[in-house]
Amino acid sequence: MRLTTKGRYAVTAMLDLALHADNGPISLAGISKRQEISLSYLEQLFSKLRQNDLVSSVRGPGGGYRLSRSSDEIFVAQIVDAVNESIDATNCGGTGSCRNGEICLTHHLWCDLSDQIHDFLSGISLASLVARKDIQEVSERLDKEEALQKAEADSMQRISASSLG
């Protein structure tokens, strides 16, 4: 199966957005820090997610992104498809040129597997992932780490400002 970083990061970022949906628009910088995904990479992914009507952007102070519809209406396969990521278990990219330009013996088996994976991911909504206890625990840990880093940075800034003044 070829689910590359693009698809994985898009799903991770969308799940982060769903987990923090109650906090208003979420900045890509926040997602970038929590999930350790490059901000420029997230900008590229969110451009595609916005074009596919999975997210909407909010401009101005306190702006960011939010899900364009309820998390129970957004499925993992839609996210993967939106960033032009194919779920393909074949070695030929689904072209049928597996063996000297012709279909190999197991081509249809791997095509069927790809279809099964896509069908599986089509049945998993962001809401179902958000409801999982294990995902909530990881999210809480990441939020605590982010808050601690912010507190440490604020403390260093206060120390620096007081030593200058």
d(CA 131, CA 153) in angstroms, rounded, equals 32
Asked whether 11 and 22 are in contact (CB, 8 A), the reply is no
Per-10-residue mean pLDDT of the chain, 165 residues long, equals 83 97 93 94 96 94 92 96 84 84 91 92 97 95 89 84 74
Whether 98 and 25 map to the same domain: the answer is yes
104 and 30 co-located in one domain: yes
Residue with tokens 């995904």: 37
Q: Indicate whether 60 and 111 sit together in one domain.
A: yes
Residue tagged 């997602």 (tokens): 31
Tell me: do 37 and 87 sit in the same domain: yes
Domain residues for 124?
5-131
Q: Does residue 97 sit in the same domain as residue 144?
A: no
Are 106 and 138 members of one domain? no
- Measured from the Cβ of residue 49, the count of other Cβ atoms closer than 10 Å reads 26
Provide the pLDDT for residue 75: 98
What count of Cα atoms within 13 Å lies in the side-chain half-sphere of residue 133? 0
